[in-house]
Structure 1
Amino acid sequence: MAEWLYEAGIGEARAALVDNDIIIQAAIEADDDGLRAGTIAPARLTRITAPGRRGIVTLDDGTEAMIEPLPRGVTEGGRLLVEIARAAIAEPGRGKLAIARAAAADAVVAPGRDLRARIAADNVLVRELTSFGPDRLEAAGWSELIEEASSGHADFDGGALRLSLTPAMTLIDVDGWLPIADLAVAGAGAAAMMIRRHDIGGSIGIDLPTVEGKAARLSAAEAVDAILPQPFDRTAVNGFGFLQIVRRRARLSIPERLQQDPVGSAARALIRRAERAQGIGPRTLTAAPAVIAAIERRPDWIAELERRIGAPVRLRGEPGLAISAGHAEAQNP
């Protein structure tokens, strides 16, 4: 029976929907993600960027968001209540503002649901994990999921996927050694599983091998429909093997999180390993200097780790270590 595994980690919460000991869907929520989708908050319309269509609102805490469409009757400087439809998206160069819309007339100020509340709404059993029991996330393949998101590479029976992030869309390239029509169907299904597994939303392109005949292209599209839960929109597979999917995008996908902030992600992963390190006495966290610096900038993480393990924490930067190669050791294993 499928169940959600939930871990309230230091620096981030993690969740995985597991069925038959395999992760079929995962999500991460960092403690610095900012406003969540679903947040309802008072704001001021500070700038109209496209008259009659689009503008910028500033919330009372100073956060800016893009609003579209512009609510009727509100002019620059006017107050209104907004709902955050999509969280801000950090991207190289220039991040994307959160997207807001005018809140419903009967809406009340409230924060958006956190990760724990979102998975509870699925009406699936939620099992909360602690660092003292078996590492069920790891047993289900959490490290493999993180490596897949970081590298963008995933194998399937008969081929491989390569995920690439672009400002416009997430692209998934399918390659392999099966007969072309079989590869298109198997690759489409594998890509759909990757999309769900990594919580990928927005515009998504799947580049399948070019297949002859409408029937084979239809079978590839149906493979996506059989795996990817609604709601989503998609095109047909065109003559060049390209299929486009559009899903609601409320937050960063897991590949976006890991690839756009590899140091911060490695720091949170190291904190997790330290919390689970066997032994007693002080914990020494050794990692690349950039990772150690990221942890040092968060004394609240260190304090919470020390509280959970009941021992002091020591940090040691080691030049030459890969960002992902940090390790944690207890004084007395």
Structure 2
Amino acid sequence: MAEWLIEEGIGETRALLVEGEQVRSARLLWPGELAAGSQVSGQLTTKLKGTRRGVARLADGSEALVDHLRPDVTEGQSLDLVITRASIAERGRLKRAQARAAGADALSPVAGFLQGRTVRRFPAGLWEEVWHAASSGSLAFPGGEILVSVTPAMTLIDIDGIGTPRDVALSAVPAIAQALAWFDLGGNIGIDFPTLQAKEDRRAVDTALGTALADWPHERTGMNGFGFVQIVARLTGPSLLHRFARARLGMAARMALRQAELAAQSGGTGRILELAVHPALKAKLKDAWLAELARATGRELRIVTDPALAIEAAHAQLLTA
């Protein structure tokens, strides 16, 4: 039976929906972020005339777009709010968080992030598999791969493979379903299948896609004559792909700290924990994070830089001296 496992890491909280030895879904939360479902208070700074919407300033100084305001609410009033979508960093801008006014007439909040069983560490290799797939924005399928990229307008999934267009499209469907869940995708999503001239081929892919996504809440169009399908799903915050697109160094820094923790827990007896990183990554390792790593591992910490290392290829080991 599938179960959400929660891992409290340095600088982030990770979650995997695991069934047997397989990952079904993944989520990620960074400190200070308001996950969907969080209950907060704020002051209404702007109320849009003729609507039940406005803008509220939250206690942390950020702003949120608010829906479901009562008609009698006025600007300057304090409100109890439920976050429905976390803020999302995009190229050149920051999308405000979205919230609903709490109350009997407001819709029920979506499920919060931290609902699961907290574990010291995920089963070996599971987080690494998801992380590296999100880092590359790709997943392989028999005879090809899908490439997933984020834009301000939508997330796009491109399909490349060897074989007839019908065979490639059908083979890609399981990887598409996997990417949607692994990368925590939502909002507007476009899938560019190979062009299928025959209507029966397009119907076959639509049917396969519907079956693969039967348990994933969404709406979608049928495939058009150019092989394009559009999906709309609830967006609750930045996907793993959004984080890599806008904060790749931050993602890599947190993964480097996780590698260091794993090395310290490997059973070795070395008193020095050496973490080798690319020079660009060293500046992203906050002093507070390094202090937490030293406390958690009980070892002397040594950071070394190696320009030959890839950003995503930090390495940790225990040394005796």
The TM-score normalised by the length of structure 2 is 0.88
Q: How far does residue 184 in structure 1 lie from its aligned partner after superposition?
A: 1.9
Q: How far does residue 80 in structure 1 lie from its aligned partner after superposition?
A: 2.2
Is residue 84–residue 98 contact of structure 1 (8 Å, CA) maintained in 2?
yes
Alignment of 1:165-314 (within 5 A): 165-228=150-213, 229-277=215-263, 278=266, 279=268, 280-295=270-285, 297=286, 299-314=287-302
Q: How far does residue 247 in structure 1 lie from its aligned partner after superposition?
A: 1.0
The equivalent residue for 1:136 is 123
Is residue 134–residue 244 contact of structure 2 (8 Å, CA) maintained in 1?
yes
Is residue 80–residue 101 contact of structure 2 (8 Å, CA) maintained in 1?
yes
CA distance in 1, matches of 2:271, 2:111: 37
The TM-score normalised by the length of structure 1 is 0.86
**Identity across matched positions, percent:** 41
What amino acid maps onto 2:16 in structure 1? A
**CA 1:101 to 1:127, structure 2 compared with 1: closer, same or farther past 3 Å?**
closer
CA distance in 2, matches of 1:116, 1:76: 33
What residue ranges of structure 2 are gaps of 5+ in the alignment? none
Q: How far does residue 72 in structure 1 lie from its aligned partner after superposition?
A: 1.7
1:115 and 2:113 matched? yes
1:316 and 2:314 matched? no
Alignment of 1:14-25 (within 5 A): 14-25=14-25
What amino acid maps onto 1:236 in structure 2? G
**CA 1:189 to 1:212, structure 2 compared with 1: closer, same or farther past 3 Å?**
farther
Is residue 18–residue 24 contact of structure 2 (8 Å, CA) maintained in 1?
yes
The equivalent residue for 1:72 is 71
Is residue 161–residue 191 contact of structure 1 (8 Å, CA) maintained in 2?
yes
Aligned to 1:62, what secondary structure does the other structure show? coil
Q: How far does residue 81 in structure 1 lie from its aligned partner after superposition?
A: 1.9
Aligned to 1:294, what secondary structure does the other structure show? coil
Q: How far does residue 57 in structure 1 lie from its aligned partner after superposition?
A: 0.6
**CA 1:289 to 1:112, structure 2 compared with 1: closer, same or farther past 3 Å?**
farther
The equivalent residue for 2:318 is 330
Is residue 189–residue 220 contact of structure 1 (8 Å, CA) maintained in 2?
no
Is residue 188–residue 221 contact of structure 1 (8 Å, CA) maintained in 2?
no
What amino acid maps onto 2:114 in structure 1? R
Count of equivalent residues? 314
Is residue 52–residue 71 contact of structure 2 (8 Å, CA) maintained in 1?
no
Q: How far does residue 313 in structure 1 lie from its aligned partner after superposition?
A: 1.4
Q: How far does residue 212 in structure 1 lie from its aligned partner after superposition?
A: 2.3
CA distance in 2, matches of 1:259, 1:53: 34
The equivalent residue for 1:97 is 96
Is residue 193–residue 227 contact of structure 1 (8 Å, CA) maintained in 2?
no
Is residue 149–residue 241 contact of structure 2 (8 Å, CA) maintained in 1?
no
Q: How far does residue 55 in structure 1 lie from its aligned partner after superposition?
A: 2.4
**CA 1:236 to 1:50, structure 2 compared with 1: closer, same or farther past 3 Å?**
farther
Q: How far does residue 16 in structure 1 lie from its aligned partner after superposition?
A: 2.1
CA distance in 2, matches of 1:226, 1:127: 32
CA RMSD of aligned residues (A): 2.5
Range moving further from structure 2, 67-76 or 225-234: 67-76
Q: How far does residue 269 in structure 1 lie from its aligned partner after superposition?
A: 0.6
Is residue 42–residue 80 contact of structure 1 (8 Å, CA) maintained in 2?
yes
CA distance in 2, matches of 1:50, 1:294: 44
Is residue 39–residue 80 contact of structure 2 (8 Å, CA) maintained in 1?
yes
Q: How far does residue 160 in structure 1 lie from its aligned partner after superposition?
A: 1.3
Is residue 84–residue 110 contact of structure 2 (8 Å, CA) maintained in 1?
no
What residue ranges of structure 1 are gaps of 5+ in the alignment? 121-125
- CA deviation vs aligned residue, 1:102-157 (integer Å, no higher than 9, x gap): 112499xxx9976332xx3xxxxx47234xxxx6241x4x3232222112122101
The equivalent residue for 1:31 is 31
**CA 1:226 to 1:40, structure 2 compared with 1: closer, same or farther past 3 Å?**
same
Is residue 16–residue 24 contact of structure 1 (8 Å, CA) maintained in 2?
yes
Q: How far does residue 286 in structure 1 lie from its aligned partner after superposition?
A: 1.9
CA distance in 2, matches of 1:42, 1:114: 17
**CA 1:137 to 1:26, structure 2 compared with 1: closer, same or farther past 3 Å?**
farther
Is residue 45–residue 55 contact of structure 1 (8 Å, CA) maintained in 2?
yes
